[in-house]
Amino acid sequence: MVRSSVLGYPRIGENREWKKALEAFWSGRIEEHEFQQQMQDIRLGHLRKQQEKGVDFIPVNDFSYYDHVLDTAAMFGIVPERFSYQGGAVPLSVYYGIARGTQDAAASEMTKWFNTNYHYIVPELNGTSPLLTENKPLIAYREAKEKLGIEGKPVILGPLTFLKLSKGYNPSEIDSWLNRLLPLYVRVLQELSAEGAQWVQVDEPILVTKLDEDDLTRLKRIYETLTASAPNLNVMLQTYFESLEHYSDIVALPVQGIGLDFVHGYAGNMKALQVHGFPTGKILGAGIIDGRSIWKASLHDKKAIIDEISRYVSEDSLIIQSSCSLLHVPVTVDHEAKLGSHLKNALAFADEKLDELVLLTKAASADSDTLTSEHMDRSQQAHKAIQLSDERNRADIHQAVKGILKQPLVRSLPFSERHAIQRDTWQLPFLPTTTIGSFPQTAEVRKARLLWRKGEWSPDRYNHFIREQIGEWIREQEDIGLDVLVHGEFERTDMVEFFGEKLEGFAFTQNGWVQSYGSRCVKPPIIYGDVAFTESMTVEETRYAQSLTQRPVKGMLTGPITIMNWSFTREDLPREQIAYQLAYALRQEVEALERSGIGMIQVDEPAVREGLPLKEKDQAEYLTWAVKAFRMTTCTVQPSTQIHTHMCYCEFHDMMNSIESMDADVISIESSRSHGELIHSFESNTYPLGIGLGVYDIHSPRVPAVEEMTSMIDRALRVLDPGLFWINPDCGLKTRGAGETIASLRNMVAATKFARVHHS
């Protein structure tokens, strides 16, 4: 009999109850005992929902109080020395200190989880002595069984992936660290087995990336050890996000099940299955339902994939799964009352994907009934209706983009000549200071926006309020002493949603939230049709801000790749073409800003790297069209117009050539959260354009000292041209309070003045 399974469920709750509980606890509005009770209620509600929908294998320990990688580190007592951890179960004060920082200790690095918009906390191994502080999968297993009668499937991040994602050790030390960690994993699994657990899901997504022979040897050792130590516990070795590297070696590992992604890794995994078959006696967890898409599946097409897989795997050895955790999609479509019926009927969020899984599992069984077939037919009709809609078939947009792509996408002068013109035009001081764009979105700002959206404030009243905020922060920036100012983005809920609301081809949910990092949730727009520019989007606020000051004010746009990567995109058009449509629309906005007298324009691309394919063979093609889309957006401006861009929270070391090819006059890039490690890449690779390395971490609720930022500036100027160097925070200041923002920026300006004296 075919069975169903889920790899993980969203943490945040239908109405972001999880986020609200975290922030209430952090602010001191609730005590720890109340917080823990709220967390349990949310967690059990998620399990109960999966139980009621009929999922066979329900994951436990996929729930987290912040991040699952941080959970794994905490479970093994891997806590950086600066947090004064005293042993035992890691208290919440230390746990959240690692994630968010304290006034006395910087937070651990945060970076993207593979090629998604989810961020994990990077474990720091140096100076730690791993030990099992508490068996989190066991606790979760017991809770599900005792409270709900669920025979849960505990989830744990695998040893190789955990080590590969960690920092603080030399590559030559990986086996030494494995020697320390493997006995702890053994104990976790042995205790689960003793408790009566049937299956454990061991996540090893690192297996879809490039591995060497030493890694394969480590894998064999890891899973021989784990299965021998807990022979009565079934191990599902789970992969996702792409196809396996070294398929034959991995399916031969001594585990009872292998989980493969047949969505994003469809081509490679299906080919491997067809060529090499699948081992008899093992369970195949087939990731059929896309855990990263919000569109209904074409269930007849999915059933055809299952039929092909069934040629190599018997019915009782097959589990139909989500392709990855449902963490990456919103919770349910049920609350989306404002979407058009043809669009809403085409959507499937986490809960609807559970229904699809159960339906497909029934369809794949020998006793599939007529009712199941009827449900599949209705789903297929909804899927096709959106495909044929007018919004997806605009010839004018397709022809315009095609015509632009025939033209050279280059600035009229090279950077060296533009730089000289811009230096004379702007007359900026040595080591100019600026910010990334946004200023604090206070409760007052959010309340005003809500009142306007509800119709309780007129547009005139709301616009007057926004102008007051802009004026206040222009004066504040001048008083702080910044050289290049921003208008603050008070009119924007989100750097992607704001633009999507003003472009055609986008739709917006009321409650389509997903977790980005910690309690930070985003509500990605849906690009469901062809994208088209209708009218200027940012000119009014930017021009008003510039009228208040003699200092330059940057126009602020979100770039085409980031809008695409931070939206849920249509599946009927290649992502490259979606990027070009966005670039064409944004190009018209850049030109409108320039016509209005704005001579510095920032086109942010913080998400350009997260779209990078996991397979090396596919990366060059993606970077080529990503760069082309950015240049399409910016290449028509005059040489005196200075184009800025911004990137953050990714590993940039291996794509600096592509960043340079974007030909932005100035790039600001995160380096503080990674403790300045990006600076190392410039020791052997020069960067010939303007650059600002973020000198302090804005995601941590602390005011960095002048000396701290001075040290970061000094390190950067050892490897970068001081004549091209800018000083800025590492990201926008939207989430920070006004007081800490002003104090931090004053310290940044003080550090800059010190650097000007010592580096001029």
Q: Is 379 found in the same domain as 423? A: no
Q: Is 325 found in the same domain as 288? A: yes
d(CA 583, CA 561): 8
Average pLDDT over residues 434-444: 91
In this structure, the number of other CB atoms found within 10 A of the CB of residue 683 comes to 10
Size of the chain, expressed as the number of residues it contains: 760
User: Please, are residues 64 and 99 in contact by the beta-carbon 8 Å criterion?
Assistant: no
Classify residue 427 as exposed, middle or buried by CB count within 10 Å of its CB (0-12, 13-18, 19+). exposed
Q: For position 695, what pLDDT does the model report?
A: 84
The answer to which of 455-469, 578-592, 672-686 has the lowest mean pLDDT is 672-686
Classify residue 441 as exposed, middle or buried by CB count within 10 Å of its CB (0-12, 13-18, 19+). buried
Q: Would you say residue 630 lies in a domain? A: yes
Cβ neighbours for 445, distance < 8 A, ≥ 6 positions apart: 469, 490
Average pLDDT over residues 576-593: 98
Q: Would you say residue 100 lies in a domain? A: no
Average pLDDT over residues 146-168: 98
Catalytic residue among 464, 699, 758, 759: 699
State how beta strands 119-121 and 110-112 pair: antiparallel
- The DSSP secondary-structure symbol of 107 reads P
Q: Would you say residue 349 lies in a domain? A: yes
Average pLDDT over residues 581-596: 98
Judged against a pLDDT cut of 70, whether residue 370 lies above it is answered with no
The answer to which of 241-245, 389-393, 514-518, 519-523 has the lowest mean pLDDT is 389-393
Whether this model's pTM surpasses 0.95: no
Q: Is 580 found in the same domain as 484? A: yes
CATH code, 573: 3.20.20.210
Q: Is 437 annotated as a binding residue?
A: yes
Tokens linked to 625: 């069209």
Average pLDDT over residues 462-470: 95
Q: Is 646 annotated as a binding residue?
A: yes
Is 699 one of the annotated active-site residues of the chain? Answer: yes
Q: Would you say residue 456 lies in a domain? A: yes
Q: For position 674, what pLDDT does the model report?
A: 55
Would you place residue 683 in the very low, low, confident or very high pLDDT band (cuts 50, 70, 90)?
low
- Exposure class string for 443-453: b at 16+ Cβ within 10 A, else e: eebeebbeebe
Q: Is 589 annotated as a binding residue?
A: no
Q: Is 431 found in the same domain as 382? A: no
Cβ neighbours for 675, distance < 8 A, ≥ 6 positions apart: 106, 109
Judged against a pLDDT cut of 70, whether residue 673 lies above it is answered with no
Judged against a pLDDT cut of 90, whether residue 494 lies above it is answered with no
Judged against a pLDDT cut of 80, whether residue 680 lies above it is answered with no
Q: For position 652, what pLDDT does the model report?
A: 65
Q: Is 648 found in the same domain as 581? A: yes
Q: For position 295, what pLDDT does the model report?
A: 95
| Strand, coil or helix: 284 | strand
Judged against a pLDDT cut of 70, whether residue 1 lies above it is answered with yes
Give the structural domain span for 136: 3-67+109-387
The answer to which of 12-16, 122-126, 158-162, 375-379 has the lowest mean pLDDT is 375-379
Average pLDDT over residues 200-228: 97
Angle at 580 between CA 576 and CA 585, to 5 degrees: 150
Judged against a pLDDT cut of 70, whether residue 77 lies above it is answered with yes
| Beta bridge mates, 121 | 110
Cβ neighbours for 721, distance < 8 A, ≥ 6 positions apart: 688
User: Please, are residues 513 and 377 in contact by the beta-carbon 8 Å criterion?
Assistant: no
Q: Phi and psi (nearest 5°) for 283?
A: -95, 135
Q: Is 490 found in the same domain as 383? A: no
User: Please, are residues 415 and 708 in contact by the beta-carbon 8 Å criterion?
Assistant: no
Q: Is 467 found in the same domain as 333? A: no
| Strand, coil or helix: 647 | strand
Q: For position 342, what pLDDT does the model report?
A: 86
Q: For position 383, what pLDDT does the model report?
A: 75
The terminus-to-terminus CA distance of the chain in angstroms comes to 74
Listed residue (198, 97, 631) closest to 415, CA to CA: 631
Query: What count of Cα atoms within 13 Å lies in the side-chain half-sphere of residue 247?
Result: 20
Q: Is 740 annotated as a binding residue?
A: no
Would you place residue 671 in the very low, low, confident or very high pLDDT band (cuts 50, 70, 90)?
low
Q: Is 450 found in the same domain as 346? A: no
Average pLDDT over residues 695-702: 77
Judged against a pLDDT cut of 90, whether residue 742 lies above it is answered with yes
Q: Is 521 annotated as a binding residue?
A: yes
Q: Is 211 found in the same domain as 250? A: yes
Q: For position 649, what pLDDT does the model report?
A: 52
d(CA 442, CA 435): 18
| Strand, coil or helix: 260 | strand
Judged against a pLDDT cut of 80, whether residue 369 lies above it is answered with no
Q: Is 117 annotated as a binding residue?
A: yes
Q: Would you say residue 517 lies in a domain? A: no
Q: Would you say residue 392 lies in a domain? A: no
User: Please, are residues 65 and 92 in contact by the beta-carbon 8 Å criterion?
Assistant: yes
Judged against a pLDDT cut of 70, whether residue 678 lies above it is answered with no
Distance from the Cα of residue 150 to its chain's centroid: 31
In this structure, the number of other CB atoms found within 10 A of the CB of residue 671 comes to 25
Distance of CA 186 to CAs 132, 166, 229, 241, 282, Å?
Answer: 10, 20, 6, 27, 21
User: Please, are residues 642 and 665 in contact by the beta-carbon 8 Å criterion?
Assistant: yes
Average pLDDT over residues 535-560: 97
Q: Is 474 found in the same domain as 328? A: no
Q: Indicate the number of domains in the chain.
A: 2
Tokens linked to 26: 């952090």
Express each pLDDT in 553-568 by its tens digit: 999 999 999 999 999 9
Q: Would you say residue 469 lies in a domain? A: yes
Q: Is 396 annotated as a binding residue?
A: no
| Strand, coil or helix: 201 | strand
Q: Is 199 found in the same domain as 180? A: yes
Calculate the dihedral angle through the C-alpha atoms of 699, 667, 494, 455, rounding to the nearest 10 degrees.
120
d(CA 125, CA 313): 41
Judged against a pLDDT cut of 60, whether residue 397 lies above it is answered with yes
User: What order do you get walking across the sheet with 725-726 strand by strand?
Assistant: 555-558, 600-604, 642-647, 666-669, 690-693, 725-726
Q: Is 445 found in the same domain as 296? A: no
Q: Is 115 annotated as a binding residue?
A: no
d(CA 5, CA 243): 19
Whole-number mean pLDDT of the chain? 93
Q: Would you say residue 516 lies in a domain? A: no
Q: For position 336, what pLDDT does the model report?
A: 94
Q: Is 520 annotated as a binding residue?
A: yes
Q: For position 589, what pLDDT does the model report?
A: 98
User: Please, are residues 643 and 637 in contact by the beta-carbon 8 Å criterion?
Assistant: yes
Cβ neighbours for 349, distance < 8 A, ≥ 6 positions apart: 294, 329, 330, 331, 332, 333, 512
